Amino acid sequence: MGDVKMIPLAVNGGIGFGAKLTPKQLITLGTYLEEDTEVELTTFQQIIIKVPENKLDEVKQELEAVGFSVYKVGNYVKSLRTCGFCQGAEEEGMPIAIELNRRIAGQEVPFTIRPAYTGCPNACGEPLINDIGVIKRNDHFELYVGGQAVGTNARTGVLLRMGWSQRSYMNLWTR
């Protein structure tokens, strides 16, 4: 590629239950990779690829057309990490998770922020060990902040607010 500047992109299969991709997504992703190219899979269910700067918009559009969500790499709010096991979209609040991700993912911030969401108290999406964590408990939500998964100062997040209704919770994230 020589003098062409390569731009990293973070892509994932969208917000849903688990980190699932379709064959069409994999084939499309493969068209932008050389045979010996390595891709990075992050803990936030994102695949990091590098694309030529002059084809950035074209690549982004094609990836989004097959269902990928595409994000910038760096000091941004990461895409919402979700549970990989539950299947009850309405019961577990997946529409709320999708809307929350739409509102906050990709926002430029002074340092990377990692949010997570889970639709039940099992907390499989690891909301307690991320910067921002949300747990849906029955018809209400709990908001945790300050979790950290690794390092000598690893800790669970602090419960900032509990018992919010869906309406009150979504009003918090209004831009």
Question: Given this model, what pLDDT does residue 57 score?
Answer: 94
The predicted structure's pLDDT at residue 15: 73
Task: Let me know the angle formed at the C-alpha of 7 by 1 and 66, rounded to the nearest 5 degrees.
Answer: 100
Instruction: Look at residue 2 in the predicted model and tell me its pLDDT.
Output: 57
CB atoms within 10 A of CB 13: 19
Annotate 104-167 with DSSP letters as a single string.
Answer: HTT-B-SS-B-EEEESSTT-TT-GGGSSEEEEEETTEEEEEE--B-SSTT-BPPEEEEEEE-HH
pLDDT at 18 (0 to 100): 57
> Domain residues of the chain, as ranges?
6-72, 89-172
What CATH code is assigned to 89-172?
A: 3.30.413.10
**CATH code linked to domain 6-72:** 3.30.70
- Angle at Cα 140 formed by Cα 139 and Cα 144, nearest 5°? 150
Structural element, H or E, at residue 11: strand 6-12
Q: What is the pLDDT of residue 146?
A: 93
In percent, the amount of the chain with pLDDT more than 70 equals 85
The pTM score is 0.77
pLDDT lower than 50: segments of the chain: 1
